Amino acid sequence: MGKPAILTVDDDPGVSRAVARDLRRRYGEEYRILRAASAAEGLEVLRELKLRGGRVAVMLADYRMPQMNGIEFLEQAMDVFPQARRALLTAYADTDAAISAINVVDVDHYLLKPWDPPEEKLYPVIDALIEAWQEAGDREVEDIRVVGHRWSVPSFKIRDFLARNLVPYRWFGADEPEGLRLLEAAGRGPESVPLVVTADGAALAQPTTAEVAEAVGLSTAPGRDFYDLVIIGGGPAGLGAAVYGASEGLRTVLVEKRAIGGQAGQSSRIENYLGFPDGVSGAQLTERARRQAGKFEAELLTTKDVVSLAARGPAKVITFADGSEISAHAVLLATGVAYRPLEAAGVAELTGRGVYYGSASTEGPACRDTDVYIVGGANSAGQAALFFAQYARTVTLVVRGASLESSMSYYLIQQLAAIDNIHVRTRTQVVGAHGDEHLAEITLNDDKTGTTTTVPCGSMFVFIGAEPRTDWLGDIVARDDRGFVFTGPDLLTDGKRPRGWDRDRDPFYLESSVPGIFAAGDVRAGSVKRVASAVGEGAMAVTLVHRYLEAP
């Protein structure tokens, strides 16, 4: 098949020659360095490569080009080589457009011109793009097709599961011509939806998420019976621990029930995370962390539901819902929190049919020209409002408190205030949700005036409160009355160690009431509910695991 290609597209001959020269000097032995003088020429080059069975690893496009700018070119180029990594060449004045492209068009990076010295400003970016392309595999995006009903709860769960696990798929309504053809080809009727058709032609009717995960190549079974460290939960704390644990030589497995990334992985944009001055989406951060953990050979398991944890001598034993078990020297609880259910008439019946918990970014395009309501006043709700405002006619934040200032970061409040179709209703609660096949209206109670009104609503996204949902732990570790896990100094009462503690030392800072069982991130009592602090605690937990293994 020959060398894979790195394509640059720039209408400025001087810039085009310079970038090609620098790329050829570093990558010329292993990659073909191709140039195009316009977006149209670049697309022609890509189509010719496609016909000849060629491969493209990286595409660089200048933002300011006549007829078709770099963002528009990369958007069309994705249809030809969807696995190629994408970056914009841009001047400082156009960085806002570049940032928008990263968040909207799935551009991976942008490079400021000039990039001298290339050893510092060009090559590290290209190295990362090539590594990402190699990690994804030299293959086309698998053609996963899902047939279902727009307002079907099982159909939504499959789409949401695939999206949150970053598995590309194509959606077809069961009443659309292509959807009907797929059902007929699979020998199924409309009652069989959701139907998932894999790249090799296997058809799964009404599959579980575990069956879908196995079919699309996600890891669902542990590779061994015993580990140094088992991490339960795949959010920022769990991923941070997986990277540090595996990189430091611990046999590490991360177990996640739903999707790697946790609640942070659903965030449309995180702007206050250190090292990302232009912001990063939860999906991008999750993808990078997942690849990083895989690089160090940490195992990442999805759709594994942990139902119990026990200490059997020095070993910690984890039992899954299917009855299987794995054991480890140490366990890290990083299960985070879940959004609290909204207690209002009709909400439970319409969940998955217009009512959603979390951002459910798969619903963005479907919200076009509708009225969207977001319940909650914390950062996650604000980020969701910014995301859905791109699609919806109006977005209304329904906030129980008197203002946003007590629960939301200042920068988010400022951004919300600057967008015309975003509105905020304070001291207001949702008291009802109405609709037959799907959500159509909600009833709001205004605590300021005591009045109740019913308004049209296309979709409602709920971000209220946080519950650790640690009931499955039983009495093995000490928890507070809300279920958060006590660790370290919080376990000491008047200087006395917790009951049953059998070590000649106090519990380590992130250690629970059982030696060798640790907690990090939002599930830990007293933790700071931020992505950065969760990652930090995950890293710190690995250091404490080492101390535990050296002197239990």
3-state SS, one letter per residue, for 424-477? EECCEEEEEEECCCCCCEEEEEECCCCEEEEEECCEEEECCCCECCCHHHCCCC
392-435 pLDDT tens trace: 999 999 999 999 998 999 999 999 999 999 999 999 999 999 99
- 201, 304 contact by CB (below 8 A): no
The lowest-confidence range among 134-143, 157-166, 291-300, 452-461 is 134-143
CATH numbers and ranges of domains, the chain: 5-136 (3.40.50.2300), 144-215 (3.40.30.10), 226-338+470-550 (3.50.50.60), 347-462 (3.50.50.60)
Question: How is 330-388 classified by DSSP, letter by letter?
Answer: EEEE----BPPP--SBTHHHHBTTTEEES--GGGTGGGTTSEEEEE--SHHHHHHHHHH
Whole-number pLDDT of residue 362: 74
Q: H helices within 52-150, ranges in order?
A: 70-80, 95-104, 118-121, 123-136
* H or E segment and range at residue 238: helix 236-247
pLDDT tens-digit readout, 251-300: 999 999 988 988 887 777 788 888 877 677 787 788 889 989 999 999 99
Q: How many other β-carbons are positioned within 10 Å of the β-carbon of residue 493?
A: 9
Please tell me the distance from the alpha carbon of residue 193 to that of residue 212, in angstroms, as a whole number.
13
Q: What's the distance, CA 263 to chain centroid?
A: 7
For range 10-31, the mean pLDDT: 92
- pLDDT digits 0-9 by tens, 68-126: 888 888 888 887 888 899 888 887 555 666 565 555 556 788 788 788 888 988 999 89
Query: Do residues 545 and 512 lie in contact, with contact meaning Cβ atoms separated by under 8 Å?
Result: no
Residue 261 Ramachandran class (φ > 0 left, ψ -120 to 50 alpha, else beta) = left
Residue 137 in this model has a pLDDT that exceeds 70 = no
pLDDT recorded at residue 47: 84
DSSP 16-75: HHHHHHHHHHHHTTTSEEEEESSHHHHHHHHHHHHHTT--EEEEEEES--SSS-HHHHHH
Q: How far apart are CA 150 and CA 158, in angstroms?
A: 12
- At residue 342, does pLDDT exceed 70? yes
pLDDT range class, residue 466, cuts 50, 70, 90: confident
CA gap 69, 494 in Å, rounded: 67
Name the pLDDT band for 146 (thresholds 50, 70, 90).
Answer: very high
- pLDDT at residue 308 in the model: 97
CA 185, CA 177: separation in Å to the nearest integer?
Answer: 12
Looking at every residue in the chain, the average pLDDT score rounds to 90
- Over residues 430-465, the pLDDT tens digits come to 999 999 999 999 999 999 999 999 999 999 999 997
Cα gap 45→57, rounded to integer Å: 14
Model pLDDT, residue 141 = 47
Return the structure tokens found at 144: 């996963």
The per-residue pLDDT for range 212-253, each reduced to its tens digit, is: 999 988 999 999 999 999 999 999 999 999 999 999 999 999
- Tell me the CB-side half-sphere exposure of residue 368, using CA atoms within 13 A: 3
More confident residue, 135 or 435: 435
Q: How confident is the model at residue 140 (pLDDT cuts 50, 70, 90)?
A: very low
Average the pLDDT over 330-358 and give the result: 95
Task: Record the pTM.
Answer: 0.77
CA 8 to chain centre: 30
